[in-house]
Amino acid sequence: MASNEQVGWIGLGSMGLAMAQNIQRFLQRDKKSQLRFWNRTASRGAPLELLGAIECESIAQLVIECDLIFISTSDDAALNAIVNQILTVKDLDGKLFVDTTTVHPNTTKQANGKLKKRNASFVAAPVFGATPAAESGTVLMAMGGPSHAIDRLAPFGKGVLAREVMIVSDQPEKATLLKTLGNFIVAGTMEIVGEAQVLAEKSDLGTDMLEKLLELNFGSLMHSSSTRMTQGVYLPEEGQSPWSNLDLGIKDVQHGISYAQNVGARLKVAEVALDNMARAKDFSDAHGGRPLDSSSGYGIIRQDSGLDFENAFVKERDARKTNCSS
């Protein structure tokens, strides 16, 4: 990056805050200018301010003051709203906008078109990984956009935000399409592992034995999907945030199904996973809106097989907490 280039960050959800902190540490380490940031809920920026980052009062102020602006928000509607606010700034010439949000490829294409008309550059840079990976800078990042823009981004990629960066295409929407396919694979994996774990439990083979097989023979994705279930990540403790929010997971799977339909294909496994995720959302609503992880379709698979939504690990964990608080 140019020594005088000012960097900004819009959006401080769990993923955005983690990545923004990594950017600020990088800027501070290299004695470059401090990160500017904006978030709808200003208090979310407190950890960034402690690191030396500077809050902006509005998106417009941030865009005016910055040359390279990252965006991390929740969904398509939120991204569109942010882009519309960006477009109110009179001069966008030469500015680079980098969107890390998981959105529909068509949304990416539209955002790119709007900013391109204003002589700004746009890169889609969605990430693969949950909040813990964002905190440790070990997500996988996909980038789509013009080569000159991706070159400007290079210092922030591998070693700062991500363990590795995949350059997908000069078309930003291809990066979000790759992310959509990745989300489908993750959702499908969780569906398969959830079904297998329930069968292992009901047949007395045991979940530990199956989990060991997944670790030794089927790779990290299968194994980590299993531990999200057996170690209770799918149903976080009361007051704890999920690794990957169920509502966002539902949105991501819907994008895959929609895109497939648009091109005359079908993701049948995604349809099964989506049904279980939607029913898990009903479970959440029936329990006071308790936040669930995107792997919580496992609880529905359990119920459909005559088991409780809560597995033994969750029951013991929650019982310990209840005993400690009484």
135 has pLDDT over 60: yes
Q: Which helix (H) or strand (E) holds 168?
A: strand 162-169
Give the percent of the chain with pLDDT over 90. Answer: 91
Is residue 3 predicted with pLDDT exceeding 80?
A: no
* DSSP helix/strand/coil, 83: helix
**DSSP assigned state of 295:** T
Q: For residue 40, give the H/E element and its range.
A: none
Q: Which of 78, 70, 120 is nearest to 100 (CA)?
A: 70
- At residue 144, the 3 state secondary structure works out as strand
Element (DSSP H or E) covering residue 103: none
Residue range 102-128: mean pLDDT, rounded: 97
Alpha carbon separation from 293 to 57, 241, 245, 274, 313 (Å, rounded): 32, 8, 5, 13, 16
pLDDT of residue 30: 77
How many of the other CB atoms lie within 10 Å of CB of 240? 12
Overall pTM surpassing 0.85 (yes/no)? yes
Question: Which amino acid does the sequence have at 229?
Answer: M
231 C-beta neighbours (distance < 10 Å), count:
13
pLDDT at 326: 54
Instruction: Give the whole-angstrom CA distance, residue 308 versus residue 91.
Output: 57
pLDDT 10s digits, 152-165? 999 999 999 999 99
Of 68, 75, 94, 84, nearest to 9 (Cα)? 68
**Which of the four pLDDT bands, split at 50, 70 and 90, describes residue 208?**
very high
Question: In sequence order, which ranges of 138-206 are alpha helices (DSSP H)?
Answer: 147-153, 172-202
Phi (first) and psi of residue 40, to 5 degrees? -60, -45
pLDDT tops 80 at residue 1: no
**Predicted confidence (pLDDT) per residue in 236-284, tens digit:** 998 888 988 999 999 999 999 999 999 999 999 999 999 999 999 999 9
- Cβ atoms of residues 72 and 44 within 8 Å: no
Q: Strand 68-71 relative to strand 139-144: parallel, antiparallel, unpaired?
A: unpaired
3-state SS of 13-38? CHHHHHHHHHHHHHHHHCCCCCCEEE
pLDDT in tens, 294-318: 999 999 999 999 999 999 999 999 9
Beta-bridge partners for 69: 8, 97
Burial of 160 (0-12, 13-18, 19+ CB in 10 A): middle
Q: What single letter denotes the amino acid at residue 64?
A: I
SS (H, E, C) 104-135: CHHHHHHHHHHHHCCCCEEEECCEECCHHHHH
Calpha distance 194→310 (Å, rounded)? 13
Burial tier of 75 (Cβ tally within 10 Å: 0-12, 13-18, 19+): middle
Is pLDDT at 182 greater than 70 in this prediction? yes
Q: Hey, what's the torsion of the CAs at 261, 263, 268, 272, to 10 degrees?
A: -40
304: Cα within 13 Å, side-chain hemisphere = 13
Cβ atoms of 95 and 23 closer than 8 Å: no
Residue with tokens 């006071």: 288
Residue 20's pLDDT is what?
Answer: 98
